[in-house]
Chains A and B, each alone.
Chain A
Amino acid sequence: KAGVTQTPRYLIKTRGQQVTLSCSPISGHRSVSWYQQTPGQGLQFLFEYFSETQRNKGNFPGRFSGRQFSNSRSEMNVSTLELGDSALYLCASSLEGRYLTDTQYFGPGTRLTVL
């Protein structure tokens, strides 16, 4: 079974631009979560989507948004990029998003650099 895939793997943008990252979950997984990882803050939860609905949201500004399609593929968008948005963006999928029973499988991440 193929793992979680993320595209692109690397991205360089300039301040003020916007960016869209894509995530394809493991086949059959309906929950997709997004995380931001930086050396200063560690791994932080952005949001979770389940059946095309945002089910949980972390403490990030509205510039960060996402969506999920009917095939469970997900995209996240960051508008008006800031230097501090430079990070590794990770996507994780699980069957139903139920804790204690579901394991999260992470993708390789998208390394975003904002200049």
Chain B
Amino acid sequence: SQKIEQNSEALNIQEGKTATLTCNYTNYSPAYLQWYRQDPGRGPVFLLLIRENEKEKRKERLKVTFDTTLKQSLFHITASQPADSATYLCALPSSGGSYIPTFGRGTSLIVHP
């Protein structure tokens, strides 16, 4: 069955540095991958979607890469700020072509001033 892995350990970085989060998946070839941000006690907020034929996508300080050979997506936040501190979730559509996303457990990012 498909499996999504995100680093369960929190990522601690200093303000101004680039944060890089990883999403690995197995037993699957998704047509796209999404990244969400979730703050404590709140619902996830959609950030970016990248399709299988796109190697890289950018939105302001965010950059996502999608390597279908490595079965991995990297999520970068450049010039990170304390306000970027949150849990970041990756999501893939369930195998079989349905719309239902399957979420990773998320990685907590803590940006220190």
Give the interface of A toward B (CB within 8 A). Answer: 4, 33, 42-45, 48, 56, 58, 88, 90, 92, 97-100, 103-109, 111
Contact = CB atoms under 8 A, between A and B. Distances in A.
Contact of A43 (B32, B41, B51, B89): B89
A45 B94 CA distance: 10
B43 A58 contact: no
B43 A97 contact: no
A103 B46 contact: yes
SS of B interface (majority): loop
A45 B102 contact: yes
Interface stretch (B9-17, B69-77, B103-111): B103-111
Contact of B99 (A44, A56, A105): A56
Interface in B44-59: 44-46, 49, 51
B100 A48 contact: yes
In the A-B complex, list the 5 residue pairs whose CB atoms are closest, starting with the nearest. A106-B43, A43-B103, A42-B105, A99-B99, A103-B46
Given A43-B44, A48-B99, A106-B43, A99 B106 contact: no
B43 A4 contact: yes
Contacts of B31: 99-100
Interface residues of B, number: 22
Interface of B: 31-32, 41-46, 49, 51, 89, 93-94, 98-106
Contacts of A88: 41
B39 to A, nearest CB: 10
B89 to A, nearest CB: 7
A42 B46 contact: no
